[in-house]
């Protein structure tokens, strides 16, 4: 069994996946635009992602640009969680994700290890963990 996240964006999926691909050293795969999928949608959305995946070592999630008739409601119902074995790498990733976003819990040592929680500039919630 494999359970994975599917993230929805308001027309900036390509920009968000480029951002994440740099942080996680991953590739954007299986890209399909609304035009490719031949979906009846306003022309302003033809080049937006109807589906894409970010894949790399230990990273795999899917994403798309929600159609204009599917509003995105930002909330706190989901967080992406990243577990790392290096405190230095975890801190770097946290700093990159939180840049231009909002820090909810500073990345620092806790009872169980190092942890930080933030919302990135695209409205996605992240938890960065390191058990050392």
- What pLDDT does 1 receive? 63
State the residue for tokens 């509003």: 71
Domain ranges in the chain with CATH number 3.30.720.110: 80-130
State the residue for tokens 């770097």: 92
Between CA 127 and CA 22 the distance in angstroms is 18
How confident is the prediction along the chain (132 residues), in pLDDT tens digits per residue? 677 899 999 999 999 999 999 999 999 999 999 999 888 888 999 999 999 999 999 999 999 999 888 888 877 778 999 999 999 999 999 999 999 999 999 999 998 899 999 999 999 999 999 987
Domain ranges in the chain with CATH number 3.10.180.10: 6-65
- What pLDDT does 26 receive? 98
Between CA 24 and CA 29 the distance in angstroms is 14
6-65 classified as CATH 3.10.180.10: yes
Q: 80-130 architecture in CATH? A: 2-Layer Sandwich (3.30)
Between CA 94 and CA 107 the distance in angstroms is 7
Between CA 9 and CA 13 the distance in angstroms is 5
């Amino acid at each position: 069994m494999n359970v994975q996240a599917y993230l929805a964006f308001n027309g900036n999926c390509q920009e968000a996946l480029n951002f994440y691909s740099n942080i996680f050293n991953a590739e954007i795969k299986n890209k399909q635009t609304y035009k490719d999928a031949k979906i009846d949608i306003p022309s302003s959305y033809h080049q937006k992602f109807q589906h894409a995946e970010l894949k790399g070592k230990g990273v795999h999630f899917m994403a798309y640009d929600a159609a204009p008739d599917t509003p995105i409601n930002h909330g706190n119902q989901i967080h992406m969680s990243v577990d790392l074995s290096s405190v230095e790498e975890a801190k770097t990733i946290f700093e990159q994700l939180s840049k231009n976003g909002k820090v909810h819990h500073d990345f620092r040592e806790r009872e169980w290890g190092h942890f930080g929680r933030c919302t990135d500039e695209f409205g996605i919630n992240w938890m960065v963990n390191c058990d050392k």
